[in-house]
Amino acid sequence: GAVVSQHPSRVICKSGTSVKIECRSLDFQATTMFWYRQFPKQSLMLMATSNEGSKATYEQGVEKDKFLINHASLTLSTLTVTSAHPEDSSFYICSARVPGQGTYEQYFGPGTRLTVT
Amino acid sequence: QKEVEQDPGPLSVPEGAIVSLNCTYSNSAFQYFMWYRQYSRKGPELLMYTYSSGNKEDGRFTAQVDKSSKYISLFIRDSQPSDSATYLCAMSGGYQKVTFGIGTKLQVIP
């Protein structure tokens, strides 16, 4: 399967600061990447779809000014959590869709554990 | 009613057992059905996907889809302790966003 990396794997930040998470497709070019949140004992929730060279599409209820997504190249998408608060603490996971395939074939990064104190 | 229902478990089985994991769904538009394995504190790993109804086999894993009943299954033969993980079912219409189940936690006991 395709390989997706994510950095950092975990981060602790103070309330009010911003945090950037990187998602990279290592062995394929991903025109589309996805950002998810996962809370304990809950389903993966799609936050936004990131398309290379265009604005991200956010799911209903996700604040686009708080969760800034940039997909500047075919192998890199970034998620910046701005003015983080304790309720933003979660497990953030990105995925990348294989070119030419649908959303049924997407590969996930290892995730980033964000803790806001 | 949730679009995808999955029993969170936990499900404990002895090593070597056949494991059956299941999901039901309500959206008739789903055409693709996926199974992911997620180890603790890691991202999900795609095991396999199937299109429409039928079976698909990959090694010790068999995925089954019954669209008439809106029911999908994943069977694991000769289960191993390394299979201990959370298994997520997921579904989509193809190019639309994926809807995930809550995941079933599986423990294979040596």
pLDDT (tens digit per residue) in B69-90: 999 999 999 999 999 999 999 9
Question: What's residue A99's pLDDT?
Answer: 83
Which candidate in B23, B39, B46, B104 is best for mutational testing of the A interface (most A CBs within 10 A)? Answer: B46
Question: What's residue A53's pLDDT?
Answer: 84
Model confidence at B50, in pLDDT bands (50, 70, 90)? very high
Q: For chain A, which residues lie within 8 Å of any Cβ of chain B, measuring from their own Cβ?
A: 1, 4, 6, 34, 41-44, 46, 49, 59, 91, 93, 95, 102-111, 113
**A104 - beta bridge partners?**
none
Model confidence at B95, in pLDDT bands (50, 70, 90)? confident
Do B50 and B56 touch, CB atoms closer than 8 A?
Answer: yes
Residues of chain A scoring pLDDT < 70: 1
- Which residue of B41, B43, B95 is in closest CB contact with A103? B95
Question: What's residue A68's pLDDT?
Answer: 96
Tokens of A107: 């590969």
Are the beta carbons of A93 and B43 separated by less than 8 Å?
yes
Question: What's residue B94's pLDDT?
Answer: 81
**Closest CA in chain B for residue A44:** B100
Backbone Cα Rg of chain A: 13
From B15's Cα to the closest Cα of chain A, the distance in A is 25
Residues 6+ apart with CB under 8 A from A62: A47, A48
From A72's Cα to the closest Cα of chain B, the distance in A is 22
Question: What's residue A1's pLDDT?
Answer: 65
Question: What's residue B88's pLDDT?
Answer: 97
**Closest CA in chain B for residue A111:** B43
Do B101 and B44 touch, CB atoms closer than 8 A?
Answer: no
Q: What is the mean pLDDT of chain B?
A: 95
